[in-house]
Chain A
Amino acid sequence: MSASEAERSIMVRLRGLAQAPSATAARSELARIAPRPVLSEPGDVSATCDSFLERAKANGFSAEAVAGRSEAVHAVAAYISARQNHRRFVAGHDARLAAMPWRDAGLLPRFGVATAEDQIAVSYARCAIAETGSVGLWADRDNPALNNLLCDAQIILVNAGDVRQSLNGLWEEREFSEAAGGPRGIMMVSGPSSTADIGMQLVLGAHGPRAVHIILLEGRA
């Protein structure tokens, strides 16, 4: 059977089994039996950030909160200095990363996509999730997905104003089409890459970063 014949025959059968007479009727039924939850509930930003940092650390991230961009740059420099003897790292073309005062801390960013030779990547998350201690990273022209995967270590910056309480907050921006300027994907990262496939022993750095450092920018001057 060709792909189109398979599609036709499977869909004909499934249409015969469908309970609702139309897609609109199915959607109305869904809204009745499982109303769409509120995506972001208003809450105490400081408490939400504390909760995010606590859970992020429990997930195996290292994490710190800083007042603003200048402090963030120095925090990045301190982390990089502790891991390697040069001050180079790779970062995407995200405008927020481009606007950071890297030179103030003597850092040398290369803007682009990570390669297997890069040791540390710095990324800027679109949001963070307090419920799970995760960060939401868009995969788009300014934020290459490989920057979250190929390096030995990753530093992820996130604004306190972008910390959302629950997983549902990940979906505040719901449009993924290219026409609407949406990302081609989202990576929700909740800890360093890990595996327990050998002897059920947890080992970090299975394929992705062995260490991930979160810097929460509180937005104070």
Chain B
Amino acid sequence: MEQLSRDFLARADQALAEPERAANREALGVLMPELRRAAIGALGGRKAFEKLREELRVVREHSLANLAHYLDEFMEQARKNGSEVHFAASAQELNERVIELCRRAEARRVAKGKSMITEETGLNAALEAEGFAVCETDLGEYIIQKAGETPSHIVGPALHKPESEIRDLFLAEHDLGERELAGAPEMVAEAREVLREQFLAADVGIIGSNALIAEQGLSMLVTNEGNGDLCANLPRTLIICTSIDRVLPRAVDAMTMLRLLVRSTTGQAVSCYTSFYGGPRRDGDLDGPLEVHFVLLDNGRSDILDSDYREMLQCVRCGACLNHCPVYMSAGGHAYGWVYPGPMGSVLTPLLTSLEEAAPLPDACTACGRCEEVCPGAIPLPDLLRDLRSEKFAAGITPQRWRFGMRVHAWLCERPRLYQLFASLAVGLLHRFGRRRGVISRWPMAGGWLTARELPVPAAGRTFMAMQRSARASRGSREANQ
């Protein structure tokens, strides 16, 4: 997938100019926090959530610290179950492995379940370039594949598509004659019918994995549609593409993760289908794949493991940080210009690609802290973003005028009296120019900031420090009078 993260600001502007494509996102921003809150409440409230995420954090940290041991165990068990395990160091290698496996299976048609790893590697384009017919089967992924677009959310990839656009797309793409497609139920029914044919005709199924379980050599997949299970059980070859950091030691650890994952993703207590795949069809089985392959991708994850950013590998890809992020809600997923949007994407993208290519992303944060609060992996996302900003500054990637501004700010911060003097001058000016309207909507060098918002005028015309000083003085004189 082509990376366009450098154009974050321009792409965010573009998203702001398309309010009809923001409607679902805005609804999600209101609905998901409510659903999540209710789900956490049913779990036993915030304390229960904290306890559970601490349990998960401890296990995930341990798994990552001993990844080699648990990957060894996973490989041994998976091979015992009859599966084959392959490694890929880079995105290109994963694509090559999958193409090789598809050729080995003499495949022509591939049915795919939703997989962010294969978005990361650009697998669809690679397969199509080799002549394979690839069909995404998750409804959201199918919609954007047909539209020739990229996902805007890691859980709801077609979140940016209004119902009317999807209707027009289906009417144009499905050769099913005159019909109305009045609403979502009719469109879902049509997609079900069209995709059923794809499942039945597919030679290879490709899916992702939410977790690998070392103890039993299993892969866990969580879906609501059931398309992943059809991809896993109908075609004669199943390929599971995931990354090396997904491994958990025991099935009970996967259950801890599941309790947090689904509540954080959709606000449900559990998703409709949670499936565990152990290997190919066995003697006497009437269905199931004849071959099962795991392709495990590194693509920079071992570098992250060996860095100060290893906590990022605790991410379970639930999307909760996106749903609670004011920047994501305004800018939308496409602004981030690569596979992973929102706070998790702003950390992960520079780590998996480069800080230069993803330069604006660490700044795409208001430091409100909601992402860290809701993250089931307890990832300190604002801290990691701040560290990336420091790295960017140190590496000279931050633009020259920002660097100059920050140097001036740092210089002033080291001289508190001067800082206070400038602050009182600025506050006085703001008060003088804005007191009549109560807000300021234009200010030199703040055009960008004030385009979509107004700045409240400091009511007293004094700085916080000055107000504190007077409050303290009047308290002192009151006490003296008593």
Contacts and interface: CB of A to CB of B under 8 A. Distances in A.
Contacts of B276: 185-188
Give 7 closest A-B pairs by Cβ, nearest first.
A208-B226, A141-B284, A206-B225, A14-B68, A7-B87, A197-B140, A132-B270
A18 B65 contact: yes
A193 B225 contact: yes
A139 B288 contact: yes
Contact of B270 (A15, A19, A116, A134): A134
Nearest to B255: A167
A73 B244 CA distance: 47
Contacts of A159: none
24 contacts: A3-B88, A13-B306, A15-B68, A23-B73, A26-B70, A55-B269, A146-B287, A167-B258, A178-B81, A184-B277, A184-B280, A187-B229, A190-B273, A194-B225, A195-B188, A197-B140, A197-B157, A197-B158, A200-B28, A200-B31, A200-B159, A203-B188, A206-B192, A207-B192
B275 A187 contact: yes
A10 B224 contact: no
A20 B67 CA distance: 10
B286 interface: yes
A11 B24 contact: no
A193 B69 contact: no
Interface stretch (B215-223, B327-335, B411-419): B215-223
A134 to B, nearest CB: 6
A207 B227 contact: yes
Interface in A141-159: 141, 144-146, 148-150
Contacts of B163: 198-199
Interface residues of B, number: 100
Interface string B174-204: 0000000001110111011001100110000
Given A14-B305, A178-B82, A184-B282, A199 B68 contact: no
B252 interface: yes
B192 to A, nearest CB: 6
Interface residues on A, range: 35 or more
B185 A203 contact: yes
A144 B286 contact: yes
Given A112-B286, A141-B284, A206-B225, A19 B89 contact: no
Interface of B: 24, 27-28, 31, 55, 58-59, 62, 65-73, 77, 80-82, 85-89, 93, 97, 137-140, 143, 156-159, 162-163, 166, 183-185, 187-189, 191-192, 195-196, 199-200, 215-218, 224-227, 229-230, 232-234, 244, 249-253, 255, 258-259, 266, 269-288, 296, 298, 302, 305-306
B250 to A, nearest CB: 7
Interface in A177-221: 177-178, 182-201, 203, 205-208
Contacts of B216: 174-176
Nearest to A58: B269
Interface of A: 1, 3, 6-7, 9-11, 13-15, 17-20, 22-23, 26-27, 29-30, 33-34, 36-37, 39, 55, 59, 92-93, 112-113, 116, 132-134, 139-141, 144-146, 148-150, 166-168, 170-171, 174-178, 182-201, 203, 205-208
